[in-house]
Amino acid sequence: MKTTTARRHSPSFTQSVVLVAEREITARLRSKTFLVTTGILLVLVLGGVIAGGIISNTSSTVPVAVVSSMSSELSNVNGLDLTVVDDRAEAEALVSEGTVDAAVVPSAEGSANRVTIIAESEAPSSLVRALSVAPEVELLNPSQTDETLRYLAAIGFGLIFFFSGMTFGPMISQSVVEEKQTRIVEILMSAVPVSALMAGKVIGNSLLAFAQIIAIAVLAIVGLSVTGQAELLSLLGAPLLWFVGFFIIGFVLLAALFAAVGAMVSRQEDLGSAMAPVTMLIMLPYFAIVFLNDNPVALTVMSYIPFSAPVGMPMRLFLGTAAWWEPLVALALLVVTAGLAILLGARIYNNSLLKIGSRVSWAQAIKG
């Protein structure tokens, strides 16, 4: 009778996963380090959006006097605050008074130039550039985005991926090692299956990572809308949504590997070296997207490698260099790789969790 009652009240696999996931989420939400780190990341994103809005909305104009016969030629030039005058003498007077920084008047007869700039001591460089005759430029492969925007987008995608991965991944490994050191894992294993213990850890931390990424995406979209950066939002909207999707799958892959690494060691002192191969899977894509964002071949390769696809493919979508089918293929490859990583991580986790003492090698963990 006692045995029957015990079996009747023992949690199912799904219930065990939910219990472990809830425990992980609760522990993280009570951690001041986690809350402060998340707050800093959100503030950085919001600050970047606001700074971009201020820069885009702040246009320094140059006060310029222009003779009425030439006003139509300068009306379409950005950054000029035009004051139309009747003749050259009136324009010179405004310059002498300091009312305008410069004046634009027709050149004297016989001059090689049509336009003359009158200034007090130095002509504004922006006005000189605007009136300079530039050679005709023909681009065989024109870029669809500004160089500064491309670099900022690369920094944004790379930094969010790096920050979240290096925040939640090591937390999973540290949690596993802590449970091994304190022998809590033996108590947990008597109540829930080992596979449910790993699944709960991965799911719980993944949900927190997903919530953080979605909060960042929503904050960025709302911030761009409020600050009047509609053009940037139209460029960044779809790539940002794809980034969320790629990150969700990519983080599950990394979380499974971090859980496996944590099971391979018994002391916190050994965890750093054990995690090194997995942390490289986060660091390399970050540095690659920052330094190779202007290399189309490197970006194409990155967008199909599962570990770098979460930053490589959204970047190519932002630049407009990816065909419609490419993110679907890259996401399918990432899903398959994540599935294999989960199977590998579960095998290592099951084979290593109860081994106390020296660090378990990868070969021993896989073979069992």
Chain segment 270-323, per-residue pLDDT in tens: 888 889 999 999 999 999 998 998 898 999 999 999 999 999 999 999 888 889
**Bridge partners (DSSP) listed for residue 80:** 62
Smallest CA-to-CA distance from 165 within 25, 279, 264 is with 279
With a threshold of 0.75, does the pTM exceed it? no
Q: Which residues contact 124 (CB under 8 A, 6 or more apart)?
A: 62, 64, 101, 102
Q: In this predicted model, what pLDDT tens digit does every residue of 151-200 receive, in sequence order?
A: 878 888 888 899 888 888 898 998 888 888 888 888 888 888 888 889 99
Share of the chain above pLDDT 70, in %: 87
Query: Distance (Å, rounded) from C-alpha 220 to C-alpha 331?
Result: 23
Summary mean pLDDT of the chain? 83
Question: Are 92 and 118 within 8 A, CB to CB?
Answer: yes
pLDDT at 251: 93
DSSP letter assigned to residue 140: S
Query: What pairing do the DSSP bridges indicate for beta strands 115-119 and 80-85?
Result: unpaired
H-run or E-run covering 45: helix 32-57
> Which contacts (CB < 8 Å, 24+ apart) does range 214-222 have?
214/244, 215/42, 216/41, 216/42, 216/45, 216/160, 217/241, 217/243, 217/244, 219/42, 219/45, 219/46, 219/49, 220/45, 220/49
Is the pLDDT at 329 greater than 90? The verdict is yes
pLDDT at 136: 64
Amino acid at 180: K
**Bridge partners (DSSP) listed for residue 81:** 63
CA angle in degrees (0–180, nearest 5) for 349-352-356: 140
Domain boundaries, the chain: 11-55+145-367, 63-123
Among left, alpha and beta (phi > 0; psi -120 to 50; other), residue 360 is beta
Confidence of residue 55 (pLDDT cuts 50, 70, 90): low
Residue 125's CB is within 10 A of a number of other CB atoms, namely 9
- Token pair recorded at residue 6: 């015990």
The residue assigned the tokens 């490859």 is 333
